[in-house]
Amino acid sequence: MKSTNYSVTSLYSLLQTRLKTSPSERLDERTSPLHTMAMMALEAACSDAPKTLAQMLDDQSKAPGSTSIAAVDNNDITPDDWQHLQDILLLNSFINVYGMQKVYADHGNKAYDISNKTEAAAFTQACASALNYVTTSAMGGFLNLRNQTAQSITKTYKRMEFHLDFLSDLFKAFSFPKATLIALDGVLKSVVESLKKIEFNDQLKTVDHLLFMYTFEEVPGMDIKLPHLRLFYLKINTRTWQMSMHKATVTEIDFQCNYMDEDWEMNPFQVAKQRDQIQSLLTKMSGLSMDELNNKLTPAVVDTGKA
């Protein structure tokens, strides 16, 4: 199933294709008692306004505070990997719905008016903050922190090469081939186009964005891979942002960005074990089916295989 170009699909579409051709590889639907703090906290915060929450999930696509990507070698997807990709899709939806519930509650149980450019900017910042909180503080049992480092990029980029060079610096630990970086650039360009329409004024010191990068890592000494979440909480200097987005005559960009880089190992077995409870809670909160949620919140998929 090797891709011959740099096109990007979604994880939801990829899994739908797989399940149609290999229905025997569907997830184990076993249930078990629920014990995680994340689930109890989300149950306690359950909104009585699912239509508002569903609308806010749509708003996130127009004024995005986060981006989710799954990096997969299309030449080397094992049956276990397919299973784990389904777990990633569910966990990503869980984090997004839980995070949007927090945005809703923190804003006085009301939605933001993203037709107002200033309020749209506040919405993106609130989403990045809430999703970061949920991922790092409320996913006990599902995610285990392996490494955490504070990083920064202060560098002058040539405008014409800015996107790819920045991605090369941000994702240098992955050693992605150029084709993968080009695909990533395509994903993030669509995010940037949405953010261009929003007014990030000088009162905001940074433009914040949360980047979810789902990957597979080999377990030392064992012939298995486990899914990892690499979480990048970007805080881009506002003047840098304005310069890179709106000053077309500038040939060089003095870019400044601080970010937290965290490596979380996912426990797919715990996700699969609690699948029924998670799904029931998410559909109750959003008023949407799991197909609707997964399709709306699906990570983009980029191929990491060598061209």
268-284 per-position pLDDT tens digit: 888 888 899 889 888 88
Q: Which residue has the tokens 């006990």?
A: 140
For 50, counting Cβ atoms within 10 Å of its Cβ (0-12 exposed, 13-18 middle, 19+ buried), the class is middle
Q: Give the residue among 71, 54, 75 at the shortest CA–CA distance from 299.
A: 71
pLDDT at 306: 59
Q: How large is the average pLDDT for residues 93-106?
A: 92
Q: Give the residue among 208, 195, 293, 292 at the shortest CA–CA distance from 246.
A: 195
DSSP 20: H
Coil, strand, or helix at residue 67? Answer: strand
Coil, strand, or helix at residue 291? Answer: helix
Q: Where are the domains of the chain?
A: 9-20+49-303
**Cα 27 from chain centroid (whole Å):** 22
Q: In terms of pLDDT, which residue wins out, 75 or 112?
A: 112
Task: Supply the pTM of this predicted model.
Answer: 0.85
How sure is the predictor about 285, in pLDDT bands with cuts at 50, 70 and 90?
A: confident
Structure tokens at 38: 């994340």
13-52 per-position pLDDT tens digit: 666 665 554 443 333 333 333 344 445 445 545 545 567 8
**Type of residue numbered 122:** A
- Give the whole-angstrom CA distance, residue 237 versus residue 257: 6
Percent of the chain residues past pLDDT 70, beyond the cut: 82
Q: Is 187 left (phi over 0), alpha (psi -120 to 50) or beta?
A: alpha
How sure is the predictor about 163, in pLDDT bands with cuts at 50, 70 and 90?
A: confident
Q: How large is the average pLDDT for residues 295-300?
A: 92
Q: Which residue has the tokens 């909160």?
A: 285
